[in-house]
Amino acid sequence: MIKTKSILLLFLGIIIFSCRVKQQGLITEKESTTEYHKDSFVQKMEEIINGEGVDEAMIWFEANKKSPIYSTDEVRINQLGYKLLYDYKSIKEAIKIFEFNATLFPESGNVFDSLAEAYLKNGDYNLSVENYTKSSNLSKKKYFHHLGFLTPKKYVATEIPEKISDLFIAEGDWDNDIAFVYLQGGPDFELNINEKDGLHLMENEQNILKIYPLQSPMLNPNIFIASPTLTYEQSAFENAQSVEILHKTVSYLKEKGKKVYIIGHSYGASICLEYLNSKEILAEKVVIMGMDLDEDISSWEQLKPGEFIRWENGVKPVKRTLFGWVPQGYPKKKSFDRVVDNLEMIIRVNMAKKYSALLKPEKIIKVISIYATKDEANGVKSKHEIEFLEKHGAIVHKIDGDHHSMLTKGFMTKLYEHLINGTSL
């Protein structure tokens, strides 16, 4: 009797435990009979491709693509499509895989982006535009190529939010009495805060107060798809809004009793230059990286729609296209050219100014100018400008490399030590 009772209690315990496991979502009846034991659709396809070739794999695909016995994964199916597209040069087969993925995951912008790319490779321009447009509308994270597929909009001036907390993102220790303010390159429609930005590259980054002001296009991304193309006056206003955001941010930090060091790279550095030109400078130092006081933009006058200038070895201006993958005759070619021209106009406004004549000596002395020996974006800094900066008390530092060569852990840590402890650059 005792033995029978023990067996019953053990049996009841197993039942109770099984019920609890199912209630907690650790295993379901469906998983135990189907999902848990499914083979991978992609793995089976790759096995056939590697063993018998693409043709046999596609025959199997047509026979089994709707079979419920195989598990499907959006990312892995997409990877399979790209393997067919580029490794095996099987464009039509890749299209079938991407189309299949789109039916499985109709709310994913990424799968339609891949499908559009395959249609483009196949010369099916209208289908490419159709699917890129769908991807652009579905994708939560926008990329610049999405802009060419969005509906152009009439320019509307950017308004600055009233709340100071809406003007910047802060990371790190707010109790720190020193704030590092970083203006990223661009222009871009979002802040790129990550382990590779200028402040995260500093050795002591986990302990410093990092401030990232927004820029006008981040508040108003539609300026990139403005139609007609931005005028000089509209672009000047947008840049002035970015400067105002920076000024309000720095003023707020100073009201909180903090020392402020501003660091700007590329387009962010051009905002810093206009800040130096048009505002009372409350920061201790302003670091200008990858930008000159007097930029040479004479070659820009020869640009056609959609083109911009890069400097070969930092000395020879050469025309480039931002969206080189967009072919002539593509239905959205003019939309892409408009995006580039809007970008170019926003950048041009500040770069057209001669800051060596505009900046007062008491402002130049706060400048630390960092330039690269082979800057492909802006060209090499002239000897005349180096002498001018040094004559007026600015610090000038040369780095061997390209436009982004100062954005390394080694240099940014060196810059941090210079700003905080006065060590040499």
* pLDDT 10s digits, 99-157: 999 999 999 999 999 999 999 999 999 999 999 999 999 988 888 889 999 999 999 99
Domain boundary assignment for the chain: 41-140, 164-421
- Taking 80 as the threshold, does the pLDDT of residue 27 lie above it? no
Quick one: pLDDT band at residue 208, thresholds 50, 70, 90? very high
Q: Evaluate if residue 21 carries a pLDDT over 60.
A: no
User: In Å, what is the CA distance from 394 to each residue of 124, 288, 295, 390?
Assistant: 56, 11, 18, 5
173 vs 27, more confident: 173
**Closest residue by Cα to residue 291 from 348, 242, 351, 245:** 351
Are the CB atoms for 84 and 107 separated by under 8 Å?
A: no
Q: Has residue 20 got a pLDDT over 80?
A: no
Omega before 213 within 30 of 0, i.e. cis? no
What is the chain's mean pLDDT, rounded? 89
Cα gap 240→421, rounded to integer Å: 33
Position 280: which residue type? E
CB distance 273 to 358 below 8 Å: no
Q: 260: number of CA atoms within 13 Å, CB side?
A: 21
Rounded CA-CA distance 302/30 in Å is: 66
Of 30-34, 210-214, 312-316, 408-412, give the lowest mean pLDDT range: 30-34
Residue 85 has pLDDT above 70, yes or no: yes
Rounded to an integer, what distance in angstroms lies between the CA atom of residue 29 and that of residue 14? 16
Average pLDDT (186-202) is 94
Per-residue pLDDT at 233: 97
CB 207 within 8 A of CB 177: no
Cα–Cα distance between 276 and 283 in angstroms, integer?
Answer: 10
| Percent of the chain surpassing pLDDT 70 | 91
**Edge-to-edge strand list for the sheet holding 168-171:** 168-171, 209-213, 178-183, 259-265, 285-289, 367-372, 395-399
For the cut 80, the answer to whether the pLDDT of residue 17 exceeds it is: no
| Cβ–Cβ < 8 Å for 179, 209 | yes
CA distances from 369 to 233, 284, 344, 391 (A): 28, 14, 23, 13
Instruction: Work out the pLDDT band at 366, boundaries 50, 70, 90.
Output: very high
| Number of residues that this document lists for the chain | 425
How large is the average pLDDT for residues 52-71?
91
Question: What pLDDT does 38 receive?
Answer: 64
Phi, psi at residue 373, to the nearest 5°? -75, -20
The predicted model gives 171-178 an average pLDDT of 94
- 17-31, 256-270, 277-291, 379-393: least confident range: 17-31
State the Cα torsion 381-386-388-391 to the nearest 10°: 170
3-class SS of residue 149:
coil
* Residues 271-310 pLDDT 10s: 999 999 999 999 999 999 999 999 999 999 989 999 999 9
Q: Which CATH number fits domain 164-421: 1.20.140.10, 1.20.970.10, 3.40.50.1820, 1.20.120.1200?
A: 3.40.50.1820
Q: What is the mean pLDDT of residues 348-355?
A: 94
Asked if residue 169 has pLDDT above 90, the reply is yes
384, pLDDT greater than 50: yes
pLDDT in tens, 317-344: 999 998 989 998 999 999 999 999 999 9
Check whether 415 has a pLDDT greater than 50: yes
**Which of these CATH numbers, 1.10.3720.10, 3.30.479.30, 2.40.50.140, 1.25.40.10, describes 41-140?**
1.25.40.10
Q: How confident is the model at residue 42 (pLDDT cuts 50, 70, 90)?
A: very high
Spatial distance between the Cα atoms of 388 and 408, rounded to a whole number of angstroms: 27
pTM for this predicted structure: 0.84
Q: DSSP of 74-100, one letter per residue?
A: HHHHHHHHHIIIIIS--HHHHHHHHHH
The pLDDT, as a whole number, for residue 138 is: 92
Q: With residue 320 as reference, give the H or E element that holds it.
A: strand 316-321
